[in-house]
Amino acid sequence: MSNKLLSGSQQVETDLDQPLYTPIKRRSFFMYAGATAGATALVLAGCSKSDSSPGMVSVGSGDVGVLNYAYALEQLEAGFYTQLRTGSYYTGLAAGNAEKLILDDLYYHEVIHREFFKAAITGAGATPIKALTPDFSKIDFTSRTSVLGTAKAFEDLGVAAYNGAGRRITSANYLVIAGKIVSVEARHAAIIRDLVSEGTFVGSDVVAIGTTSTEISKDPATVVATANTFLADGSKLDVSGIQ
């Protein structure tokens, strides 16, 4: 039932709005899908919360819920780095400029993460959430301060989100995959913070410097409270299924 609803709404969104991604070749991914154990159970888990909170996009529950949650955040990040490439701050950067090369790499990495999750969720026999429509109206893509400040917010949020999601994952395989991505997000966060202010790769806003020097992780509800401010109505996230 929910599959039908999701695919239906995805069609509408694709027509009406600018999607954040270009669809991947699902068929090629299915070739590898057989290796995923418990796919049926995951699909069922993923459906349980699909119809809650009208107007919101439910990520579902269980491991697929966490994967869709990560997919949603990667959509947001990838959408941001995609859009900034048309903004005058980025287009004004000279070839070979360090910031340009960094923003290029972040664009590549985040789009790859987004496409990977879409493929992985499909490969697990589950349904990815739709392509979300962002709302980047608060970002000034002509301004270095706005662009880098937003990049910093997204990267730090991503790290805190993955760290907070780890305990909600039951599959060791998915936990390792999340780990493979979060450390790259942390590397991103560090250099972006250094671009904003040299030597602030860790700061008391993200790491408990005074005590354990551990990252301040965030649970899904806290993360989407911020993420939803960058998502249009109809694309805001409901993470109650994994909270």
Partner 1 sequence: MNIFEIISEIEKVDPEVYDRLDSRRSIFKHMSGLGQKLTAAAVPLAFGAVLNKAYAQTTAAPGVVDVLNFALRLEYLESTFYNLGLGTIGATATAAQTTFRSGFSTTNLASLDIIRLDESNHVSALIATITALGGTPIAAPNRTPNALGVTGDFDFTGGKGTGTGPFAGIFTTPATFLAVAQALEDTGVRAYKGGAPYLMSNKDVLTAALNIHSVEARHASRLRTMRRAGAANNTASAVAPTNSGTNEADRSASPKSWISGNDNGGPAPAVTAPVYGAGTAPAYTPTTLSAPVFPAENNVIQGGVTLSATTLTATANFPTLSYSEAFDEPLDVPTVLTIAKTFAVTGSTFFG
Binding residue (CB under 8 A) for partner 1 from 6, 70, 72, 119: 119
The candidate with the shortest Cα–Cα distance to 135, out of 21, 14, 230, 13, is: 230
User: If binding means CB under 8 A, how many residues of this protein chain bind partner 1?
Assistant: 70
The candidate with the shortest Cα–Cα distance to 2, out of 48, 67, 42, 71, is: 48
Q: Kindly state the smallest distance separating residue 219's Cβ from partner 1, in Å.
A: 10
Q: Kindly state the smallest distance separating residue 185's Cβ from partner 1, in Å.
A: 8
Say whether residue 212 binds partner 1 (CB under 8 A).
yes
Say whether residue 216 binds partner 1 (CB under 8 A).
yes
**Which two structure tokens, joined as six digits, stand for 156?**
């730090």
Stretch of 4-12, 57-65, 207-215, 227-235 contacting partner 1, by CB under 8 A: 207-215
Q: Kindly state the smallest distance separating residue 53's Cβ from partner 1, in Å.
A: 26
Stretch of 22-30, 48-56, 134-142, 220-228 contacting partner 1, by CB under 8 A: 22-30
Dihedral of alpha carbons 90, 182, 26, 220, sign: negative
Nearer CB in complex with partner 1: 86/213: 213
Pick out residues in 33-62 that bind partner 1 (CB under 8 A). Answer: 35-37
Stretch of 8-16, 55-63, 133-141, 212-220 contacting partner 1, by CB under 8 A: 212-220
Q: How far is Cα 195 from Cα 181, in angstroms, rounded to an integer? A: 21
Pick out residues in 160-189 that bind partner 1 (CB under 8 A). Answer: 162-164, 166-167, 170-173, 175-177, 179-189
Q: How far is Cα 39 from Cα 49, in angstroms, rounded to an integer? A: 17
Q: How far is Cα 217 from Cα 214, in angstroms, rounded to an integer? A: 9
Say whether residue 120 binds partner 1 (CB under 8 A).
yes
One symbol per residue from 126 to 165: x for binding partner 1 (CB under 8 A), - otherwise; what is it?
---------------------------------x--xxx-
Q: How far, in Å, are 70, 123, 186 from residue 181 at the CA level?
A: 10, 18, 9
Judged on CB neighbours under 10 Å (0-12, 13-18, 19+), 74 is: buried
Q: How far is Cα 189 from Cα 153, in angstroms, rounded to an integer? A: 8
Q: How far is Cα 87 from Cα 17, in angstroms, rounded to an integer? A: 19
Q: Kindly state the smallest distance separating residue 231's Cβ from partner 1, in Å.
A: 20
- Radius of gyration for the alpha carbons in the chain, expressed in angstroms and rounded: 18
Q: How far is Cα 18 from Cα 30, in angstroms, rounded to an integer? A: 26
Interface with partner 1 by CB under 8 A: which residues? Answer: 21-25, 28-29, 32, 35-37, 96-99, 101-102, 105, 108-109, 111-116, 119-120, 123, 159, 162-164, 166-167, 170-173, 175-177, 179-191, 194-195, 198-199, 201-202, 207, 209, 211-217
